[in-house]
Amino acid sequence: MKKLIEIKDLTKSFDDVQVLSNINLYIRENEFITLLGPSGCGKTTLLRLIGGFEFPDSGLITFEGKDLKSLPPHDRKINTVFQKYALFPHLNVFHNIAFGLKIKKLPKQDIDDAVKNVLKLVKLEGFEDRNIKTLSGGQQQRVAIARAVVNKPRLLLLDEPLAALDLKLRQDMQYELKEMQRALGITFIFVTHDQEEALTMSDTVVVMRDGEILQIGTPEDIYNEPKNRFVASFIGESNIVAGVMIKDYLVNFEGFQFTCVDKGFDPNQDVDVVIRPEDIELVPAKGEIDGVVTDMIFKGVHYEIIVDVKGKEYVIHSINPQKIGAKVSITFEPEAIHVMEKNAKFT
């Protein structure tokens, strides 16, 4: 697929605080890309730079190869859905959506048709005359999306658009947004701090922290092959243990040696080892990684079991309940072990 947006060596600071450093990223056409990271990681700033509400200190943003620097927001083929929707409260649904078209002085019939079409897309047919304040949060959200897509952008920026919705609605909207993106055939850049949201919806996830990109990849890559301790703990739950890579396919941690599928480290290099909770199986104590069950919570699909191994707590997701106080052993397949480079900065 063609590259739509390319970002090169982008930096941005506000009053001496570096919010983005050295960002390099490209976004393809028709891609659903998510910027994921904790609050203050610079993801919203990156979005605002692309949207044209802020200007980079250095670096380049290109749109289909052309520099965006001198283009004001409304001349970029980019539109934004704001976190708090930013609807015009004194206008009804129709006039909110038609606002931009009217400013472009389109013929009335075209405006009516365009509004009708987007309302159909966001499943709000017949809502034209409704007052904004009479809409629920989810409906306001849809109006905000309709207002953004009615201008036929090539790229839609969504700044935590689901943050204000309740859980059930948020899950429904996740699927609908994905569907809308496919139907429209345009690129979505979606900002969120919710890792589940990112994994559900995205083609590509960009994990950010402290103004830097830590990892770019498909949801599967990010989950299964996190590059470092931060990514591993931010995406889903994980057990992270310090270890030593003895040689290719052999790692030592918790005092035992395990075969694994990782290679390419220096001999005896210090590493971090990640094991996902669902990859661990508990068996009666057999003298390897032995521990005691200290806590168990029923989570619906599975039990979350906490096992204390010599003072270190492991989290295990299992469909089989355990007795608290039971002596168990932690076992896993070689594929369940994921070895990461130890990086002092990301601990």
Partner 1 sequence: MDQDVSKHNGFIRFIQNTMNSVLSGGKQYITRFKTGSIGTKMSHLVMGSGNIYHKQFAKGLIFLGLQVLFLSIFIFNPEINNTPIGFKALGNFITLGTEEGTLFGALADNSMLMLLFGVVTFGLIMVFIITYLTNIKSAYASDLLVRSGAKPTTFKDDVTALFDSRFHVLLLTPTIIGVLTFTILPTLFMIFIAFTDFDREVRPGLNLFKWVGFENFTAIFTGTGEIAERFFPVLGWTLIWAFFATFTCYIAGILLALVINKRTVKFKKLWRTVFILTIALPQFISLLAMQQILSEHGPVNAALLNIGLIDEPFAFLSQAKTATTARISVLTINLWIGVPYTMLMTSGILMNVPKDTYEAAQIDGASKRQAFFNITAPYIIFITTPYLITSFIGNITSFNIIFLLTGGEPNVPGNIAGKTDLLVTWLYRLTIEEGDVNIGSVIAIFTFIITASATLISYRRSKAYKEEDTFQ
Q: Which residues bind partner 1 (CB under 8 A)?
A: 51, 53, 72-74, 78-80, 82-90, 99-100, 103-104, 131-133, 147-148, 151
Contact 241, 312 (CB under 8 A): yes
**How far is residue 5 from each of residues 1, 31, 289, measured CA to CA in Å?**
12, 11, 49
Paired sense of beta strands 58-63 and 66-67, if any? antiparallel
- Minimum CB separation from partner 1 for residue 144, in Å? 8
Question: Burial code of 166-186, b = ≥16 C-beta within 10 A, e = fewer?
Answer: eeeebeebbebbbebbeebeb
Contact 198, 192 (CB under 8 A): yes
Using the minimum distance from each CB to partner 1, give the nearer residue, 74 or 247: 74
- Minimum CB separation from partner 1 for residue 336, in Å? 45
Distance CA 233, CA 229 (A): 6
Using the minimum distance from each CB to partner 1, give the nearer residue, 44 or 202: 44
- Minimum CB separation from partner 1 for residue 133, in Å? 5
Using the minimum distance from each CB to partner 1, give the nearer residue, 65 or 72: 72
- Locate tokens 């200290």: which residue? 294
- Minimum CB separation from partner 1 for residue 20, in Å? 19
- Minimum CB separation from partner 1 for residue 149, in Å? 12
Using the minimum distance from each CB to partner 1, give the nearer residue, 79 or 192: 79
Using the minimum distance from each CB to partner 1, give the nearer residue, 88 or 175: 88
Contact 232, 62 (CB under 8 A): no
Using the minimum distance from each CB to partner 1, give the nearer residue, 42 or 51: 51
Angle made by CA atoms 234, 235, 237, in degrees to the nearest 5? 85
- Minimum CB separation from partner 1 for residue 130, in Å? 13
Contact 263, 337 (CB under 8 A): no
- Minimum CB separation from partner 1 for residue 79, in Å? 6
Using the minimum distance from each CB to partner 1, give the nearer residue, 155 or 330: 155
Paired sense of beta strands 58-63 and 155-159, if any? unpaired
Using the minimum distance from each CB to partner 1, give the nearer residue, 2 or 133: 133
- Minimum CB separation from partner 1 for residue 11, in Å? 23
Q: What are phi and psi of 306, to 5 degrees?
A: -105, 125
- Minimum CB separation from partner 1 for residue 160, in Å? 12
**How far is residue 241 from each of residues 1, 159, 179, 249, 328, measured CA to CA in Å?**
39, 35, 39, 17, 18
Contact 22, 187 (CB under 8 A): no
Using the minimum distance from each CB to partner 1, give the nearer residue, 53 or 175: 53
Distance CA 298, CA 70 (A): 56
Contact 39, 30 (CB under 8 A): no
- Locate tokens 């390319």: which residue? 6
